[in-house]
């Protein structure tokens, strides 16, 4: 205790804190890096290459070695090694300078795609992660799930057909449903349709679509279209998109006699004492939250009144089917109403 | 006033006051099992206490009873075990309380299910009632908090209600012990098969779902002819309820 | 054969589910409510439509108003706490007089009259009995006041309005408004607070409420805070201000606890709990006049007695351990003295001392016995006069005499402040830990809830100690 000095003690403490931060900070902490590295890195690269080849072959593009190296951001020797290994295991073969999948290679790739999409579905339905995180988490998880685990996951989720982006999930026998739809950018004015797919790549465009609060399952009606923009209504709001972005959204066209409610508003705009009729809940609310709202009586046709304003702005209480229920603004703003 | 109402009923021809013994937590060797279901905040625990003579805490707060409580009473020399299920708004979701309630009504095979509802919020409460009636055909509707409904000038035509639902309806104010004798009498009549229920089935379902439900329910009946609630099983299968699928495979619930 | 048919049914249901699409649940819920509306239309009649301004609505207008909502809330909370702390004083000292000053000597006399060996007598009467008696004397009266008051508010229907008023603040830290109530319940007893989190039906927010409940200063810790603040904080200001100064110090600690609760809630919701499902719903039930005596009775049976019983079960072995470590010798030193000297260095770093750390280790079962243990151990290691013998916990009648013993143990204002901080920020008592495990059924979250506060306690007291020594 002779050497004790408050400043030394504080400095030692600071050093330990910095070290702990470097070790455990999210994702980039040394501890996490070592943990992920210890898992076979080779396997991940192999599976990433398989996936890349699978998606390009689906789009009728053929990649050569250079394309692969350019697309995957891993070191080159690792990729070349992996390609050699994959050829030896007959997962791929060369045709000219194009790398192609064999039957067993494409089966393998399909399994990874299945794991990825199922995991995204799982994240969407059963966890509270933000949807901007789904893709990245699934990118990591797809390498960890075994075939049996994937099958168990699928049956837990009720063997879903589509992932939350609307992409089909391959079955365990490798069957894959077709998406029948038209790109939003191709629709003509006054077309009514339902959004069935939003491409999650490229990342920049996907994030932009997410920011616009456009979601799978919602009904849309195209109201205006020019060379530089496409305007459509959905869930009571108006959206303006550039064709390049609209091209990433797929819509299934509906018969004309489907009534798309116009002049919708959101429950959050109701003023004290005002009454409205509920038209529906936005497709943005899903899983447990959606079921809970329905159970509480926020169903199509129900009358709702703003019962009580909160002294802090939210949550406000709404009188629905005889009971006062408080909702936060992020919930109320996703319940579609028509004022009466 | 309360006392008068009570005594008036104890002299009526149906209820046999001497035959009632509240047994508290002594639930051994029972003749009938009675489940108590209902929305949160409908005075379900008060009804439970009134029937068993227990004093479970009853908060004015949704979701008080999370684990199920049990008690018993004896009426006309027959012992009834009473199981207080967690209060839920619905049986369709995946939360823990709903699972407890759903599984007990479906697999615990209660002889009678008493559904406690708030008389002044009947419409909201019927959501749960209609779901339960898909599962079981031996139920009693306990129209509780009648005092509050009266205060709010709400009149309920219990006969019309009973006709619609196909089960007996008993108005009560459990806080003031009103209507409890009639409730006990009705429970015993349903338990002994003196009252046969013809429960309401949900009608306002889109055609494509109704067709799917009928198709499935037919297949289930083929496999398990003795099953009473094939429609509900079909609903759960369409929902993708893992638990039901598992039990269907093992055939345990029959 | 049978199996094949079952698989056929399951795959049929999969196909049908695909055909119906994800609208199934919506359609079913709408269908059921449509049926309900039809039934209600024919069987329910509202005779008085004009009676819109119900009494409920009028009460709600006031207690959720911008002007009155918060003052009413704080007033009620302050009143409940004040009634609890002040009201418990008298019965507490009466119980202490009975159990500690009358029954304990009587038991000792009886033991010696039947010739019980000294170690059995010490182990059972000085160890086990004394700890249990202490917990009852300190814990029972405040809980018997606090829980019924809280339950009355609950039965009336006021508590959901508190959750309603405060939800926005809790939302900012990723928590649920109902946490305001579990937190307030924690002011009575953390174990009861943890049980109360059942009212939060969203998994993520419920875990947050469970893990942070310990930051509510509980019943077992209020007396420690008040005693230490009176002795040390009250002494640094002129006499006329001393009670105000010590009172503000205690309130300051409680508010600091609320601050840490928000901070940790926020951090948890952004990191480890990010993936848990989060939903929100809050029903505002109608007001119902509570049935006074029934409520008092059930809350005593349901909450007070159960929590007290759990505390006793845990306190009894703690008493035994306290007696044992002070009376079992390793070489020429008792185990307690040996532990204290080995923890003294670490204690000094935290601005505390070995005695305090040892007291907190052996008193994990109940915060109530921390002060008696500290006094006993201080007398044991300093060898000053006082106390009732090795391993026999005691408390002194006068506050100044307690202060004298502690000062003789080397206590300064820094020790006092850090003890108050450490009393706020340390692991929950074992009753609470056990309750957390029962509620979460998860070892992981129980460990997090137990370790996290004590690490924060180490860091905070350490920093305070160094900065104090640098500048004062």
DSSP-based three-state secondary structure for A320: strand
Query: Do both B60 and B169 map to the same domain?
Result: yes
Residue B197 lies in a domain: no
Residue (of A192, A165, A168, A163) closest to A180 by Cα position = A168
| Predicted-complex ipTM score | 0.84
Would you state the torsion angle of the CA atoms of residues C245, C246, C250, C253, taken in this order, to the nearest 10 degrees? Answer: 60
Number of A/B CB contacts below 8 angstroms equals: 35
What pLDDT, in 10s, does the model give residues A110-128? 888 888 988 988 888 888 7
Segment holding B142, helix H or strand E: strand B139-144
Residues 253-292 of A with CB under 8 A from B: 288, 291-292
Residue B198 lies in a domain: no
Say whether A264-339 and A182-253 share the same fold: yes
Q: If you classify domain A182-253 with CATH, what class do you get?
A: mainly beta
Question: What is the CATH topology of the domain spanning A264-339?
Answer: SH3 type barrels. (2.30.30)
Residues 138-177 of A with CB under 8 A from B: 155-159
| Candidate from A155, A288, A297 with C-beta closest to B124 | A297
Sort out which chain A residues have CB atoms less than 8 A from C354's CB and list them. none
Q: What is the rounded CA–CA span in Å between residue C27 and residue C148?
A: 45
Residue B4 lies in a domain: no
Range of B178's domain? 17-192
Tell me phi and psi for residue C31, to 5 degrees.
-60, -45
pLDDT of B68 > 60? The answer is no
In chain B, whose CA is at the least distance from the CA of C17? B238
Count structural domains, chain B. 2
CA distances to A241, B4, B9, B76 from B16, in Å: 75, 17, 10, 8
Confidence of residue B10 (pLDDT cuts 50, 70, 90): very low
pLDDT of A217 > 90? The answer is no
CA distance A115 to chain C (A): 19
| B174 CB within 8 Å of a chain C CB | no
Long-range contacts of A52-61 (CB under 8 A, 24+ apart): A53/A92, A53/A99, A53/A100, A53/A101, A53/A105, A53/A109, A54/A101, A54/A106, A54/A109, A54/A110, A54/A113, A57/A100, A57/A101, A57/A106
DSSP-based three-state secondary structure for B118: strand
Task: Name the E strands within chain A.
Answer: 63-64, 92-95, 98-101, 182-183, 192-198, 219-225, 230-234, 237-241, 249-253, 265-266, 275-281, 303-308, 316-320, 323-327, 335-339
| A301 CB within 8 Å of a chain B CB | no
pLDDT of B6 > 50? The answer is no
Sort out which chain C residues have CB atoms less than 8 A from B239's CB and list them. 24-25
Residue B12 lies in a domain: no
Q: What is the pLDDT of residue A37?
A: 65
Asked if C376 contacts C368 with a C-beta cutoff of 8 angstroms, the reply is no
Query: Do both B230 and B117 map to the same domain?
Result: no
Query: Do both B84 and B112 map to the same domain?
Result: yes
Query: Do both B109 and B28 map to the same domain?
Result: yes
Please name the residues in contact with B27: beta carbons below 8 A apart, sequence gap of 6 or more. Answer: B70, B71, B72, B81
Asked if A282 contacts A331 with a C-beta cutoff of 8 angstroms, the reply is no
Query: Do both B211 and B164 map to the same domain?
Result: no
| B92 CB within 8 Å of a chain A CB | yes
In chain B, whose CA is at the least distance from the CA of C297? B55
pLDDT of A257 > 60? The answer is no
Q: What is the rounded CA–CA span in Å between residue A115 and residue B219?
A: 32
Sort out which chain C residues have CB atoms less than 8 A from B206's CB and list them. 27, 31
| Candidate from C12, C40, C48 with C-beta closest to B123 | C40
Residue B185 lies in a domain: yes
Sort out which chain B residues have CB atoms less than 8 A from A296's CB and list them. 89
Contact flag A295-B95 (C-beta cutoff 8 Å): no
Tell me phi and psi for residue B21, to 5 degrees.
-135, 125
Query: Do both B232 and B186 map to the same domain?
Result: no
Q: Work out the average pLDDT over B228-232.
A: 82
Q: Work out the average pLDDT over B52-73.
A: 59
Kindly give the residue spans of alpha helices, DSSP state H, lying in A127-222: 131-141, 147-156, 203-211
| A296 CB within 8 Å of a chain B CB | yes
Sort out which chain B residues have CB atoms less than 8 A from C45's CB and list them. 154-157
- The model's pTM is 0.83
CA distance B146 to chain C (A): 13
Top-confidence range, A265-274, C85-94, C437-446? C437-446
Residue B128 lies in a domain: yes
| B55 CB within 8 Å of a chain C CB | yes
Instruction: Tell the burial category of B198 from Cβ atoms under 10 Å away from its Cβ (0-12, 13-18, 19+).
Output: exposed
Listed by start position, the domains of chain A span 182-253, 264-339
Contact flag B126-C36 (C-beta cutoff 8 Å): yes
Query: Do both B107 and B143 map to the same domain?
Result: yes
| Candidate from A288, A320, A322 with C-beta closest to B94 | A288
CATH code for the domain in which residue B102 is found = 3.40.50.300
Q: What is the pLDDT of residue A49?
A: 84
Best of A152, A285, A323 to substitute, by most chain B Cβ atoms within 10 angstroms, is: A323
Query: Do both B169 and B228 map to the same domain?
Result: no
Share of chain B above pLDDT 70, in %: 83
In chain B, whose CA is at the least distance from the CA of C55? B152
CA distance C251 to chain B (A): 29
**Mean pLDDT score of chain A:** 81
| Candidate from A156, A158, A291 with C-beta closest to B93 | A291
Contact flag B240-A158 (C-beta cutoff 8 Å): yes
Q: What is the rounded CA–CA span in Å between residue C470 and residue B99?
A: 59
Query: Do both B102 and B180 map to the same domain?
Result: yes
Residue B10 lies in a domain: no
Confidence of residue C444 (pLDDT cuts 50, 70, 90): very high
Query: Do both B212 and B118 map to the same domain?
Result: no
Query: Do both B28 and B127 map to the same domain?
Result: yes
Query: Do both B181 and B213 map to the same domain?
Result: no
Residue (of C179, C152, C116, C401) closest to C296 by Cα position = C152
Asked if C214 contacts C190 with a C-beta cutoff of 8 angstroms, the reply is yes
DSSP state of B93: S
What pLDDT, in 10s, does the model give residues B106-143? 888 889 999 999 998 888 899 999 999 988 888 999 99
Q: Work out the average pLDDT over A303-332.
A: 88
CA distance C374 to chain A (A): 24
């Amino acid at each position: 205790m002779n050497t004790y000095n408050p400043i030394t003690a504080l400095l030692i403490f600071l050093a330990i804190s910095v070290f702990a931060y470097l070790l455990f900070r999210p994702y980039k902490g040394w501890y996490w890096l070592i943990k992920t590295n210890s898992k076979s890195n080779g396997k991940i690269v192999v599976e990433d290459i398989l996936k890349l080849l699978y998606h390009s072959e689906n789009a009728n593009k053929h990649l050569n070695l250079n394309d692969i190296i350019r697309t995957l951001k891993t070191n080159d020797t690792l990729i070349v090694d992996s390609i050699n290994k994959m050829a030896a295991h007959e997962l791929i073969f060369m045709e000219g300078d194009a790398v192609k999948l064999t039957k067993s290679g494409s089966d393998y790739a399909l399994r990874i795609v299945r794991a990825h999409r199922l995991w995204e579905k799982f994240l969407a339905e059963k966890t509270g992660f933000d949807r901007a995180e789904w893709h990245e988490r699934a990118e990591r998880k797809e390498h960890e799930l075994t075939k049996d685990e994937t099958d168990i996951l699928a049956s837990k989720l009720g063997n879903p057909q589509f992932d939350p982006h609307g992409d089909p999930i391959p079955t365990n026998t490798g069957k894959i449903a077709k998406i029948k739809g038209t790109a939003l950018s191709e629709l003509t004015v006054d077309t009514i349709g339902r959004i069935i797919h939003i491409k999650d790549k490229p990342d920049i465009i996907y994030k932009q679509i997410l920011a616009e609060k456009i979601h799978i399952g919602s009904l849309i009606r195209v109201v205006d279209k020019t060379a530089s923009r496409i305007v459509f209504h959905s869930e009571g709001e108006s959206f303006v998109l550039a064709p390049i972005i609209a091209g990433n959204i797929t819509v299934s066209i509906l018969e004309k006699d489907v009534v798309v409610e116009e002049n919708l508003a959101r429950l959050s705009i109701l003023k004290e004492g005002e009454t409205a009729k509920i038209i529906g809940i936005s497709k943005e609310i899903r899983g447990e939250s959606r079921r809970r709202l329905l159970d509480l009586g926020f169903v199509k046709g129900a009358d709702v009144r703003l019962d009580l304003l909160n002294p802090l702005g939210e949550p406000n209480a709404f009188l629905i089917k005889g009971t006062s229920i408080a909702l936060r603004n992020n919930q109320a703003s996703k319940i579609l109403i028509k004022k009466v | 006033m309360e006392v008068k109402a009570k005594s008036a009923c104890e002299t009526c021809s149906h209820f046999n006051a001497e035959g009632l013994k509240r047994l508290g937590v002594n639930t051994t060797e029972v003749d009938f099992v009675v489940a108590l279901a209902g929305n949160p905040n409908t005075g379900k625990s008060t009804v439970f206490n009134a029937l068993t003579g227990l004093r479970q805490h009853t908060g004015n707060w949704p979701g008080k009873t999370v684990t199920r409580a049990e008690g018993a009473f004896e009426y006309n020399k027959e012992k009834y075990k009473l199981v207080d299920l967690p209060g839920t708004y619905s049986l369709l979701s995946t939360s823990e309380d709903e699972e407890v309630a759903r599984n007990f009504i479906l697999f615990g095979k209660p002889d009678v299910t008493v559904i406690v509802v708030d008389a002044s919020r009947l419409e909201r409460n019927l959501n749960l009632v209609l779901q339960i009636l898909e599962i079981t055909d031996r139920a009693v509707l306990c129209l509780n908090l009648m005092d509050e409904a009266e205060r709010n000038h709400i009149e309920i035509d219990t006969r019309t209600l009973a006709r619609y639902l196909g089960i007996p309806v008993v108005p009560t104010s459990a806080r003031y012990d009103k209507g409890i004798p009639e409730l006990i009498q009705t429970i015993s009549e349903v338990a002994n098969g003196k009252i046969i229920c013809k429960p309401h089935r949900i009608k306002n379902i889109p055609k494509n779902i109704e067709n799917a439900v009928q198709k499935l329910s037919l297949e289930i009946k083929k496999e398990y002819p003795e099953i009473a609630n094939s429609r509900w099983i079909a609903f759960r299968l369409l929902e993708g309820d893992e638990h039901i699928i598992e039990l269907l495979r093992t055939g345990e619930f029959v | 054969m049978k199996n094949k048919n079952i698989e056929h049914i399951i795959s049929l249901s999969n196909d049908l589910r695909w055909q119906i699409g994800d609208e199934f649940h919506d359609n079913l819920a709408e269908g059921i409510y449509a049926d309900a509306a039809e039934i209600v239309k024919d069987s329910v009649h509202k005779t008085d439509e004009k009676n819109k301004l119900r009494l409920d609505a009028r009460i709600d207008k006031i207690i959720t108003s911008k002007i009155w909502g918060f003052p009413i809330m704080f007033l009620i909370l302050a009143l409940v706490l004040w009634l609890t702390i002040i009201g418990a004083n008298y019965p507490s000292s009466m119980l202490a007089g009975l159990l500690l000053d009358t029954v304990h000597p009587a038991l000792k006399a009886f033991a010696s009259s039947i010739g019980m060996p000294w170690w059995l007598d010490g182990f059972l009467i000085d160890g086990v009995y004394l700890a249990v008696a202490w917990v009852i004397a300190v814990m029972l009266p405040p809980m018997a006041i606090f829980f019924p008051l809280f339950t009355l508010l609950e039965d009336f229907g006021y508590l959901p309005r508190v959750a309603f008023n405060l939800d926005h603040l809790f939302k900012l830290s990723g928590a649920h408004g109902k946490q305001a109530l579990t937190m307030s319940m924690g002011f009575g007893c953390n174990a009861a607070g943890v049980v109360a989190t059942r009212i939060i039906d969203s998994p993520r927010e419920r875990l947050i409420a469970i893990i942070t409940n310990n930051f509510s200063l509980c019943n077992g810790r209020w007396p420690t805070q008040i005693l230490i603040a009176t002795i040390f904080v009250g002494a640094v200001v002129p006499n006329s201000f001393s009670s105000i100064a010590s009172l503000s110090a205690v309130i300051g600690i409680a508010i600091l606890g609320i601050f840490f609760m928000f901070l940790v809630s926020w951090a948890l919701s952004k990191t480890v709990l990010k993936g848990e499902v989060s939903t929100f719903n809050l029903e505002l039930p109608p007001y119902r006049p509570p049935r006074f005596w029934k409520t008092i009775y059930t809350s005593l049976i349901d909450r007070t007695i159960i929590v007290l019983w759990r505390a006793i079960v845990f306190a009894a072995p703690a008493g035994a351990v306290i007696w044992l470590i002070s009376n079992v010798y390793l070489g020429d030193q008792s185990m307690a003295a040996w532990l204290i000297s080995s923890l003294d260095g670490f204690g000094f770093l935290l601005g505390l001392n070995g005695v305090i750390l040892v007291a907190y280790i052996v008193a994990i079962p109940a915060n109530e016995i921390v002060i008696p243990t500290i006094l006993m151990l201080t007398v044991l290691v300093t060898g000053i006069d006082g106390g009732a013998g090795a391993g026999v916990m005691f408390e002194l009648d006068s506050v100044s005499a307690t202060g004298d013993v502690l000062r003789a143990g080397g206590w300064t204002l820094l020790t006092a402040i850090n003890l108050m901080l450490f009393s706020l920020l340390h692991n929950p008592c074992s009753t609470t830990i056990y309750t957390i495990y029962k509620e979460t059924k998860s070892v992981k979250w129980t460990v997090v809830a137990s370790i996290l506060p004590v690490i924060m306690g180490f860091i905070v007291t350490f920093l305070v100690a160094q900065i104090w020594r640098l500048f004062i």
